[in-house]
Amino acid sequence: MHGLFGSKKNNRTMSKVLARDLGRYVYTVDLRNHGDSPHHHRHDYPAMASDVAEFIQQHGLKEPTLIGHSMGAKTAMALALQHPELVSNIVSVDNAPVDVRLASDFARYIQGMQKIDEAGVTRQADADKLLEPYEKSVTIRQFLLGNLHRPDPSQPVQKFRVPLSILARALDHLGDFPFKDPSEVRFTKPALFVRGTRSKYVADDVLPLIGQFFPLFELVDIDAGHWVISEKPEEFREAVVRFLEPKE
């Protein structure tokens, strides 16, 4: 499960590698309001967790592992706590079961993306120029512009596939975590938390709370920022394979 403004395409390469190394099927999903999934005015973790629970049941998946990055990580944690019977274990990538304020970057990205939508661009290079004042990193701009598509194939105008107005309204709550009290609910199966040591999303002071919600958790630190999987794919692959390989 991808993060905000991502899609299943982000995880295609890693999914193929994990399927090969683990000898397991890997399903990549588009969370609601992202990729090819339907748009809905409600965008929060209980709703996304319910969507994924339905996907698991519809496909008859038995004891699946949930792997999620960022927004996808909180979705995986929420589902594991909401329906532990559906899940065998989880891998949470650079997020924690706490309320945090989202970085102001995300609101800025939406402003830039709205400018592009209003401009009616026909070339990605023009969209990139419009986005540059809002985000200096070429890599992040390319990631965001991956959401552009032509709604009408007969017209050259490109628009964003994600519903920007819905996501803008959801931003205030996307840093929240729906479960507050680990004495009421916990996931007593294995959980791997992978954090980027140059990211601020999993601070040392939240580790005790992770342990209360997920008492069997393991922590792996990777020298990366928030985009752990794309920054250090080999270290990430090793951590996940080691966690999921059958134990002696």
Same domain, 149 and 187: no
Write out the residue range of the structural domain in which residue 207 sits.
8-100+175-244
Tell me the CA distances in angstroms from 90 to 73, 172, 190, 228, 229, one per residue in order: 9, 26, 7, 16, 16
Same domain, 161 and 186: no
Last residue of a domain, one of 121, 149, 171: 171
Same domain, 123 and 40: no
Report whether pLDDT(48) > 70: yes
Does a structural domain hold residue 1?
no
Q: Which residues contact 208 (CB under 8 A, 6 or more apart)?
A: none
Has 154 been annotated as catalytic? no
Average pLDDT over residues 13-31: 97
Q: What is the pLDDT of residue 100?
A: 87
Does a structural domain hold residue 95?
yes
Q: Are 43 and 31 in contact (CB under 8 A)?
A: no
Determine which helix (DSSP H) or strand (DSSP E) holds 212, and give its type and residue range. helix 207-213
Average pLDDT over residues 132-155: 93
Q: Are 192 and 243 in contact (CB under 8 A)?
A: yes
Q: What is the pLDDT of residue 248?
A: 64
Q: Are 207 and 92 in contact (CB under 8 A)?
A: no
Report whether pLDDT(171) > 70: yes
* Reported pTM: 0.95
Same domain, 144 and 200: no
Catalytic residue among 7, 34, 70, 199: 70
Q: What is the pLDDT of residue 164?
A: 96
Q: What is the pLDDT of residue 52?
A: 98
Return the ∠ at Cα 124 (arms to 118 and 127), rounded to 5°.
35
Same domain, 42 and 159: no
Last residue of a domain, one of 171, 193, 208: 171
Catalytic residue among 2, 43, 69, 226: 226
Report whether pLDDT(229) > 90: yes
Does a structural domain hold residue 2?
no
Does a structural domain hold residue 158?
yes
Average pLDDT over residues 166-191: 95
Does a structural domain hold residue 3?
no
More confident residue, 17 or 247: 17
Same domain, 83 and 130: no
Same domain, 153 and 206: no
Average pLDDT over residues 67-94: 98
194: helix, coil or strand?
Answer: strand
If one counts the domains in the chain, the total is 2
Average pLDDT over residues 23-34: 97
Same domain, 164 and 192: no
Last residue of a domain, one of 120, 142, 171: 171
Return the ∠ at Cα 9 (arms to 95 and 245), rounded to 5°.
60
Same domain, 112 and 159: yes
Mean pLDDT of the chain: 95
Per DSSP (E only), the strands in the chain are: 65-69, 89-93, 148-149, 159-160, 191-196, 217-222
Q: What percent of the chain has pLDDT over 70?
A: 100
Average pLDDT over residues 157-164: 96
Has 226 been annotated as catalytic? yes
Length of the chain: 248
Helices 124-131 and 105-119, packing angle to 10 deg? 140
What is the full DSSP assignment across 49-108? HHHHHHHHHHTT--SPEEEEETHHHHHHHHHHHH-GGG-SEEEEES--SS--PPPTHHHH
Q: What is the pLDDT of residue 105?
A: 86
Same domain, 113 and 96: no
Report whether pLDDT(102) > 80: no
Same domain, 14 and 44: yes
Q: What is the pLDDT of residue 2?
A: 97
Average pLDDT over residues 110-125: 95
Same domain, 15 and 92: yes
